[in-house]
């Protein structure tokens, strides 16, 4: 899934070129390229699909030239993850009614890819035999308020697979601490595994209006009429996440507790956590940054720009050709609000 605009990574993530197509961690590969590399290790190339906003098709094709162009699926408008998942599910169901599917965002960081592959293989084996919807849960390492949490039964239904009890959206600090200390909550990684026939049944049960829209057009998938079909479908779709639309309502949801060095890289602080630090605990992306008595900062600047940083503690500093952002790290969840305010006052020029 690669259609978002990554507004919390503004100002380097822009509508024209969002974060999944950027090398935010300065590794030499963009986030979508890293995600693609991860799955090619155990999924045949022809079975990998990227769903993105139609405006980004050319970027995807350029960054992942080895992927067959017909495997780049384009959404005519952004309607969140429920329509996105429905699109690929109905399309694959027509190709193979027994197909098993992994849905993953294009912008996650996973450091232990061997463990990640094993967890995915275990999930695929489970969903091939059980009419269930599986999500991967990350064992929390601190009371993060930027992630959703999932509570699960302590009695396994299969090896390392547990029944989900509740979903909770981003909690406040105190509630996050309570979740951590209880021991039966995991971070919601937003990575899902299921057979397409079973997720389609869930759409029919919990989002029947959305299911009906795709059902009407399903015979046009995998034909020359597919693009026109999606252009008819998407204006009729509600803007809804798969978590809220199905996962929080379904009674056959399971979770696999996992530890594979995961970060959704959704914020500048999560970027800070994934970068090497200097002796003052500053994470710096940029070759010409001089740090003087500054600590715990996230700095992202152009390699050719000299930046002298003095006296700041616990800030996000991001400089682009037309925008400079200086923001306390504990206020970064509000960056989306800042972007909305900029749109109201400055239009789309800086977005």
CATH number of residue 86's parent domain: 3.90.550.10
Looking at the structure, do residues 199 and 293 belong to the same domain, yes or no? no
User: Which residues have CB under 8 Å from 182's CB, separation 6+?
Assistant: 151
DSSP-assigned beta bridge partners for residue 17:
14
Q: Is residue 42 part of a domain?
A: yes
Q: Do 95 and 215 belong to one domain?
A: yes
How far, in Å, CA of 205 to CA of 89, rounded?
A: 15
pLDDT at 49: 98
- Asked, for residue 309, whether it belongs to a domain, the answer is yes
Q: 324 and 191 share a domain?
A: no
The whole domain housing 197 covers 7-266
| Predicted local distance difference test score (pLDDT) of residue 264 | 83
Q: Are 270 and 263 in contact (CB under 8 A)?
A: yes
| Domain-ending residue, one of 266, 286, 308 | 266
Please indicate, yes or no, whether residues 126 and 49 belong to a single structural domain of this protein: yes
What pLDDT sits at residue 335?
86
Phi, psi (rounded to 5 degrees) for 63: -80, -25
Same domain, 154 and 79: yes
Predicted pLDDT at 142 = 84
pLDDT computed for residue 336 by the predictor: 84
- Where does residue 34 fall: left (phi above 0), alpha (psi -120 to 50 degrees), or beta otherwise? alpha
Last residue of a domain, one of 246, 266, 286: 266
| E strand residue ranges, 91-246 | 100-103, 109-110, 133-138, 149-158, 161-168, 185-195
Q: Could you tell me if 257 and 298 lie in one domain? A: no
Residues 114 and 147 in one domain: yes
pLDDT at 71: 97
Reported pTM: 0.91
Place of tokens 């600590």: 295
The pLDDT, as a whole number, for residue 333 is 78
Q: Is residue 106 part of a domain?
A: yes
- Residues 313, 255: one domain? no
Residues (pLDDT < 70) of the chain are: none
Rounded-to-10 torsion of CA 20, 23, 29, 32: 0
pLDDT given at position 239: 95
Quick one: tokens of 98? Answer: 């027994």
Instruction: Decide if 187 is inside a domain.
Output: yes
Give the β-pairing of 109-110 and 262-263. Answer: antiparallel
Residues 137 and 101 in one domain: yes
Domain annotation covers residue 1: no
Same domain, 261 and 276: no
Q: Are 331 and 245 within one domain?
A: no
pLDDT at 332: 81
252 lies in a domain?
yes
288 touches 303 (CB < 8 A): yes
Q: Look at residue 244 in the predicted model and tell me its pLDDT.
A: 92
């Amino acid at each position: 899934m690669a259609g978002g605009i990554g507004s919390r990574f503004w100002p380097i993530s822009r509508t024209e070129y969002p974060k999944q197509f950027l090398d935010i961690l300065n590794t030499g590969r963009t986030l979508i390229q890293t995600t693609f590399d991860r799955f090619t290790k155990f999924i045949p190339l022809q079975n990998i699909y990227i769903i993105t906003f139609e405006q980004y098709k050319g970027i995807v094709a350029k960054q992942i030239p080895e992927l067959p162009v017909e495997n780049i699926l384009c959404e005519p408008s952004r309607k969140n993850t429920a329509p996105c998942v429905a699109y690929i599910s109905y399309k694959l169901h027509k190709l193979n009614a027994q197909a098993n599917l992994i849905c993953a965002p294009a912008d996650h960081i996973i450091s232990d890819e061997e463990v990640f592959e094993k967890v995915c293989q275990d999930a695929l084996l489970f969903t091939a035999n059980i009419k269930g919807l599986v999500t991967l849960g990350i064992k929390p390492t601190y009371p993060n308020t930027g992630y959703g949490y999932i509570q699960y039964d302590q009695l396994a239904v299969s090896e390392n697979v547990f029944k989900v009890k509740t979903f909770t959206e981003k909690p406040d600090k105190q509630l996050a601490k309570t979740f951590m200390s209880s021991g039966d909550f995991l971070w919601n990684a937003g990575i899902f595994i299921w057979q397409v026939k079973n997720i389609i049944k869930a759409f029919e049960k919990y989002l029947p209006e959305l299911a009906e829209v795709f059902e009407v057009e399903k015979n046009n998938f995998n034909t020359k009429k597919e693009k026109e079909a999606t252009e008819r479908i998407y204006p009729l779709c509600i803007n809804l996440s798969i978590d809220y639309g199905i996962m929080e309502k379904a009674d056959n949801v399971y979770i696999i507790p996992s530890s594979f060095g995961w970060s959704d890289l959704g914020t500048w602080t999560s970027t800070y956590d994934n970068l090497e630090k200097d002796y003052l605990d500053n994470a710096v992306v940029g070759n010409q940054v001089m740090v003087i008595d500054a600590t715990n900062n996230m700095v992202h600047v152009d390699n050719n720009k000299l930046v002298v940083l003095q006296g700041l503690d616990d800030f996000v500093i991001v400089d682009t050709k037309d925008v400079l952002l200086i923001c306390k790290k504990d206020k970064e969840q509000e960056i989306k609000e800042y972007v909305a305010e900029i749109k109201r006052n400055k239009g789309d020029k800086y977005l």
